[in-house]
Chain A
């Protein structure tokens, strides 16, 4: 790769010497409104001589003898030719071209026009999520782009999301995409502890959605190969807001406030219902009666509150001839609908670009943010307000007769916990880059870009004496500090019918992780919050690790007559994470496109104004293969190995020097068509992603002393169709109606696994207790015993045995594939209607064909235990022949096992949700004109998660769940918080 760079440099020197000077032509390029057009390309026809216009639209070009005319072109405008007359001044007014086609799209390390693009990517613009009361921009990915399946893991504030681009192509490694903000790939290691859910908080919770101009999701090999060993899971390029040259500074004030409630909750028994049920149950089964206390308390009601959300954003953007800027800050605060869950974020951003000279440009993008979360336990955690309030025995009181909090025992007094304990998580992040761009000669640019992404998190917990005798405290500080340097050369040249673009680059990236945790017990007083006041240190932990990635990459574009498009890209990655025998990987892609509508033979087809066929094939990798040292054989020290004060060593990992990236080969065929002057735009892509060398913990019998050894083995396929349809249904002066629909159809199939046969002779891999990856089936196949129902004659619960007959004593051997957690399709549909000054937007997202396992039902539908509360539906138990009951007869032998894992807890996860409904009113211009300081104003009301359509018997509370956020186990929930139903009121004011 370095040789290539030198060769390129040689070419540059030669061409620089060929420049000859004869005559200087200058002028100005403007648009139809007489506004200057910066960065327009000006070429002397028939030569390679050219320049670009400055910020004020002016240019100056030394034109060789014999040149008769100049060609002007700019993104968003139709190319134009102007003859050189006697004078040396040429002013040109460019006409806007078809917007949707000349729209610029972000690609890796650059940009391209929609029309010339041969890559498959989707763009989500700020408009799609502007004003949405979301904590993190990852939530804005839901239902907005075909092939991108974003599932909220719960309704917790800052919950870890599960984002999958074109399916999940890893079995054990990471499945989440790479996020790149203005060229800086973000650290996304979860630095918050899991407090009952499978994962901590969303690691990107520090990102401010209001800073974002667009998110581009790179999907096919042509788009991601240049991200090499990190491309397989898709890449999300986030572009933050920028200023514009020569524009009066625009100041925007955005504010909203509102409230939230849970969309649904489990219907738990009252104290009387509970006492009666348990008494009847125990009597029916000859069990000794339990003498329950009297009284009642509605725990669920006590932990659910009206959530509140507010957001204040002030921003300014503008620029003069040489400098453009964006400055913005947001204060966001939200209290969740359960007690004790708050989040506050203050963030600021400065983006600046300055032209030092015609050839040299400097710039920076920089953001800082500080997020404070008051956390709550979730899911499988007795500190979790919603979990414990569901399970808490309904006669247990939170306070004694004097009004003092009491310790309620194993199922914790979550009201006291939230009132007395501390459980805070603070995250501080600064992300930014500084770059310098040098135009070496007119067609060749060198850019050196230096980036930083530093995250520091701090967790503090303090439990009072009442809830842990003597009190307990902990403090955890973790940091992930990344720096990177990216150096690129870009070359662009148009020679009559030929266009050539080339990119060559090199980057180095290193990230250092550091964690320190201390914990102590034994406090003299609850009023001593600091961990150091504890008398007995119980944890003193420190950990460090690091990874580095060294890369060379390049891309070549060639277009003939702007109709036949060709692109090739290449990347070579060396990663510290890969095994010593397989440290470097090379990834590549080729793609091509044919703009059929520009062919002569197509000119007659009037109703299609654009038709393009693209195809791509290439490779990418996944370097998320388990920590920073996945290939080494390791013995670890620390408390896991020490004994009685003496240092110990225990084996933690089996060596595998061959362990390396997972590799994906993907083809993609795309068709994009625009009809009726781009009133209808359609994009359809077919793809097939085949991942080999899958990281798999090949399960070992425990009799080896190990659970698994990680190997690159196994194969998985994701194939599907991405469909995007945007239509302008009605376009009038006062009335406009647009619709955009996207849907991603996906079929996930495991092709091969290490030998590990099930009863049917298929190889499988355990994903969770209920899920398996099975060859020939999906990687998230639910594998449980089928439940039939309660026999109306006998009152026994019945399951299906292996032979297909009903049984009352099911065995594990009766388990079978009963569905998949992966939806057949997901997507969204947005309708926007504008009538005069009013606008109405309705955004629905949907998921179809997936199953979800609501694992908490094993607890709430447990008939036998008197240790926790139950849902009301088991009051509907069988009493007499003919009863169509939910639960079996109390004395039935099946009653104690009724709740065991089966399809009883597995339900249809298909749903369509009215995610956003908003109604806005814009002050008419005649009113604005009278206002001195305001240039625009819009008022709106917005509702989130207002309705859901799903299986009417769904026992939930919410079908939108994903146990771990991380994507390995999907479609499972254990008392996950449901999504919030939020209503907000807001204004957008331009000053």
Chain B
């Protein structure tokens, strides 16, 4: 009898757990992929994801931007990262993992934008209007254009070399569906054409502004798309279009107004045309740094990697009293030496400084330069520049200040440098103007537009696994 009881216990124990349900465990932090593009909320989440990816340190979260200053003559990179040092010293190699990370994350933004562009129209949720769908697609196209533009600037020679027929970057315009494709590089011109197309298509469907100021500055708008078109045409030397698009932004008051002083950084004011938004809990490298970590010394919570070059200090000192120079301070840099740092990005503790991707000041500079290139010495350019110089506390210019067109263009470029330094513009501003990135020192001779190491290598990993890129590595790598 006793035995039967035991058997009963045994059978009970065994049958208790022979249940398949135990093996069906669902994740809690993630949703399955087919639960995304089925609702407006899902699509909106994915669109936010595109901006969030662009926020990464590898995209618009500071690293490619500090490189835009330190590979040129604005910043002396004294940090210890060998991969950044390589770029600084023009000794980059194709296995540089930082470069690979930039490439990877740029394409992440692009592919995530592609998903929005390809899939939003197929969502059939009641109340999800066509206008809303169009706007989402337009926002995605702006982000795609912005990202391709930075990418082609990093990995390809400027359009001025070989008329833009050099290799640009692979153009991927469809979402990834599981079928692996191996795209080769389009030319610089083809890449620019796609950027132009995306922006022009986006403008009609983009809003002028949003309810919240942080969205008007932090999401795609008609103004930001036009501003980017102005920059694209400027880089291409298409002066008429560059001037016209800049003017379209400058005159779009009160959305965009030139700030009266330099307190606008991280302010989401009318000075900002497009800024990637950073918060304490959500920034370019949440918990691990961003703009200020490079630009602030250790005593202020940063690493002190990116101080002024002597060359930039001299540029400011050429005209004493520049308020933009006053927005800097000395501190102990990463190499233990006291050096000067910008105060544009003060928050090295929480890294909440927004990325100033486009601001209205740039439109003043774009228009002034484009008109000067197109028309020579002209009053509009002088007026535009005087608005900036007055704000900086410097003497105004007159037509008589300049003897030649070139003098004016060079003076505008110098103002551009002092205005936009530490915002990542300098490298492209020199290259597109045919100027070497360094004016002195051992690297001066290898820093001219067209020199191999002024642009980055296609990551070796991509060359290794994409047969179309096998013969398309940049020369010198």
Q: How far is the CA of A865 from the CA of B89 in the complex (A)?
A: 10
Total A residues in contact with B, Cβ cutoff 8 Å: 107
Contact with A along B30-43 (1 / 0, CB 8 A): 11111110000010
- Given contacts A290-B335, A545-B27, A699-B461, whether A538 and B49 have CB atoms under 8 Å apart is no
A543: nearest chain-B partner, CB-CB = B29
Q: How far is the CA of A868 from the CA of B7 in the complex (A)?
A: 73
Contacts of B175 in A (CB 8 A): 705
Check B31–A409 contact: CB distance below 8 A.
Answer: no
Q: How far is the CA of A545 from the CA of B18 in the complex (A)?
A: 22
Check B279–A644 contact: CB distance below 8 A.
Answer: yes
List A residues 388-436 near B (Cβ within 8 Å): 391, 393, 395-396, 407-412
**Chain A binder among B178-186, B233-241, B248-256:** B178-186
Q: Which of B34, B35, B178, B181: most chain A Cβ within 10 A?
A: B178
Check A629–B107 contact: CB distance below 8 A.
Answer: no
A705: nearest chain-B partner, CB-CB = B111
Is A440 part of the contact surface with B, judged by Cβ < 8 Å? yes
Contacts of B215 in A (CB 8 A): 644
Is B214 part of the contact surface with A, judged by Cβ < 8 Å? yes
**Chain B binder among A111-119, A546-554, A743-751:** A546-554
Check A649–B277 contact: CB distance below 8 A.
Answer: no
Check B281–A704 contact: CB distance below 8 A.
Answer: no
Is B441 part of the contact surface with A, judged by Cβ < 8 Å? yes
Choice from A487, A651, A700 contacting B14 with Cβ under 8 Å? A487
Q: How far is the CA of A625 from the CA of B373 in the complex (A)?
A: 60
List A residues 1-51 near B (Cβ within 8 Å): 2, 5, 9, 16
Q: How far is the CA of A508 from the CA of B17 in the complex (A)?
A: 7
- Given contacts A636-B30, A648-B52, whether A537 and B337 have CB atoms under 8 Å apart is no
Choice from B42, B103, B305, B460 contacting A410 with Cβ under 8 Å? B305
Q: How far is the CA of A707 from the CA of B305 in the complex (A)?
A: 29
A390 to chain B, nearest CB (A): 12
A168 to chain B, nearest CB (A): 23
Check B48–A646 contact: CB distance below 8 A.
Answer: yes
Contact with A along B174-205 (1 / 0, CB 8 A): 01101011110000000000000000000000
Check A652–B30 contact: CB distance below 8 A.
Answer: yes
Check A867–B79 contact: CB distance below 8 A.
Answer: yes
- Given contacts A642-B48, A866-B335, A867-B335, whether A550 and B180 have CB atoms under 8 Å apart is no
Is A292 part of the contact surface with B, judged by Cβ < 8 Å? yes
Q: How far is the CA of A769 from the CA of B461 in the complex (A)?
A: 10
A650: nearest chain-B partner, CB-CB = B49
Contacts of B332 in A (CB 8 A): 407-409
Is B415 part of the contact surface with A, judged by Cβ < 8 Å? no
Check A651–B462 contact: CB distance below 8 A.
Answer: no
Is A641 part of the contact surface with B, judged by Cβ < 8 Å? yes
Choice from A407, A548, A700 contacting B25 with Cβ under 8 Å? A548
Contacts of A636 in B (CB 8 A): 29-30
Is B320 part of the contact surface with A, judged by Cβ < 8 Å? no
Q: How far is the CA of A519 from the CA of B33 in the complex (A)?
A: 30
Is B170 part of the contact surface with A, judged by Cβ < 8 Å? yes
Check A292–B477 contact: CB distance below 8 A.
Answer: no
Check B477–A812 contact: CB distance below 8 A.
Answer: yes
Contacts of B3 in A (CB 8 A): 16, 440
Contacts of A5 in B (CB 8 A): 14
Contacts of A647 in B (CB 8 A): 45, 48
Is B130 part of the contact surface with A, judged by Cβ < 8 Å? no
Is A605 part of the contact surface with B, judged by Cβ < 8 Å? no
Q: How far is the CA of A652 from the CA of B53 in the complex (A)?
A: 12
Q: How far is the CA of A510 from the CA of B19 in the complex (A)?
A: 13
Contacts of A290 in B (CB 8 A): 335, 337
B33 to chain A, nearest CB (A): 4
Is A97 part of the contact surface with B, judged by Cβ < 8 Å? no
Check B183–A648 contact: CB distance below 8 A.
Answer: no
Is B427 part of the contact surface with A, judged by Cβ < 8 Å? no
**Which 4 pairs from chain A and chain B are nearest by CB?**
A705-B111, A648-B48, A649-B45, A409-B298
Interface residues of A (CB under 8 A from B): 2, 5, 9, 16, 285-288, 290-293, 391, 393, 395-396, 407-412, 438, 440, 446, 448, 468-470, 472, 485, 487, 506, 508, 510, 519, 521-522, 536-540, 543-548, 550, 574-576, 583, 628-629, 632-655, 699-707, 756, 758, 766, 769, 811-812, 858-859, 862, 864-868, 896-897, 900-901
6 CB < 8 A contacts A-B:
A440-B7, A506-B17, A539-B286, A638-B29, A651-B49, A655-B32
A409-B304, A409-B332, A522-B349 are known contacts; what are 13 more A-B pairs with Cβ within 8 Å?
A: A2-B18, A393-B336, A448-B10, A470-B301, A538-B281, A633-B33, A642-B48, A643-B52, A648-B51, A703-B107, A758-B464, A812-B93, A866-B335
